[in-house]
Amino acid sequence: MKNQDNTATLAPGVRPREVFGWAMYDFANSGYTTVVITAVFNAYFVAHIAGNADWATLAWTLSLSVSYAAIMIAGPLVGAHIDLHASKKKWLAATTLGCIAGTALLATANPNTLALAVLFIVLSNFFFGLGENIVAAFLPELASEQGIGKVSAFGWSLGYIGGLITLGACLAYVTWAQAQGQQAPQFVPVTMLITAAIFALASLPTFLLVRDRAMPQPARHAYSGALQRVLSTLRHARRYRDLARFLVCIVVYQSGVQAVIALAAIYAQQAMGFTMAQTLLLVLVVNVTASAGAFLFGYIQDRLGHVRTLVGTLIGWCLVVIVAYSSTGAAGFWVAANLAGIFLGASQSAGRALVGYLSPALHRAEFFGLWGLAVKLASILGPLTYGMVTWLSAGDHRLAMLITGAFFVGGLALLWGVDAARGRQSAQQEDQKGRVLSTDRP
């Protein structure tokens, strides 16, 4: 697989069908974030399970925060353990089953089972986050250095198509159910079962087509070895100063991104007065623009550079916040939402690719665990900040949206200090050192 400059996009020995299998996991799990986190269950939780109480949005964001905190603790340890034992596919299978089961159990949540709803959202999102970290660690094994942006973008782009199909199936069912006179407590549980089923089916190509190329590494004890590696990585982070700075940058700008993902449907219904059907249609269209944005910016990133591409997307996010805050009608919010879709796909794809580009080969899963930690910390800070603002301001979602824009401005400030070429050189030097040490062992 080559690009127009005749440069190999895939790593040696990797076939296109394997990349397709890997990308299908993005297709599969995107239905969970689209339906559960972004479009359906979040608004249902606030309006029906929590009864539109003043604390309802805060309760939703706190539930997500608990799951993200658990991922922050477990992610780097699981990643280091996987590096030691070369067991990505086994762990990916376990986390996939956990997320599918948790999503299906959300179908049992109702206004009388607030505690269970919180438990199932915490568990399903926890397994989703771990799986997201693990599947990302396959990326540097599949793509060449020159093609990592394109391959990452292909996964994100296909992922948005998966979210689109899952949401479309749910929208079709909701439209039918509403025509039959059903209310949200009757049709929302079925959308959870639809989402779980599509996740299960669409993830099968990943396990059938993708190879785990990593080799086990020696350690006296699996989990003590994993912990030692994580602590060592954190102690010696100065060796990878560009990667370390970028991880901090991710925490800041992803706080804004994650707030939008977690609260888009809530904002549409609470601030803009959208119905659930209108919200589903909006998110469905946004998935199309997000897929296009991820695909387009993948090519831009490999030509323009990782850092410059991200600078452009963060400027775009600032524009999104301004347009959304200024909108008083549906038309303006549709414009803001579709701009968000373009820059959502681009910023997510570009960030993942840059982490892979800056990571030493011997520590890929471990550093993607740290990437996951940064994203999950952002997933706590962003939505929780939004939830606190709405609670303290008696439900002022516009103010909360405006404050969200500060995260993108902060991300831009941090990104200016990241030198991708210098960071890549540091990673290569670490890989060379590891190879020398391995050949020196008796």
Q: Which CATH number fits domain 18-211+225-431: 1.10.340.30, 1.20.1250.20, 3.20.10.10, 3.40.50.1370?
A: 1.20.1250.20
Two structure tokens written together for 332: 């303006």
Q: CA 130, CA 77: separation in Å to the nearest integer?
A: 11
Q: What is the pTM of this model?
A: 0.76
**pLDDT at position 381:** 93
List Cα–Cα distances, 437 to 81, 83, 176, 442, in angstroms: 20, 17, 64, 10
Question: Which sequence spans correspond to the domains of the chain?
Answer: 18-211+225-431
**pLDDT at position 195:** 98
The runs of H, that is alpha helices, within 393-419 are: 397-415
**pLDDT at position 229:** 63
**pLDDT at position 411:** 94
Sequence-distant (≥ 6) Cβ neighbours of residue 386 within 8 angstroms: 57, 61, 259, 262, 263, 400, 401, 403, 404
**pLDDT at position 435:** 54
**pLDDT at position 442:** 45
- What residues does 143 pair with on adjacent strands? 10
**pLDDT at position 228:** 67
Instruction: Determine the 3-state secondary structure of 143 from DSSP.
Output: strand
Q: How many CA atoms lie within 13 A of 412 on its CB side?
A: 13
| pLDDT mean values, one per 10 residues, the chain (442 residues) | 56 90 95 92 91 88 92 82 83 97 95 92 95 88 82 83 91 93 93 98 96 68 58 66 89 92 83 85 84 75 82 92 88 89 80 82 72 83 92 87 93 90 83 56 45
Two structure tokens written together for 275: 């119905």
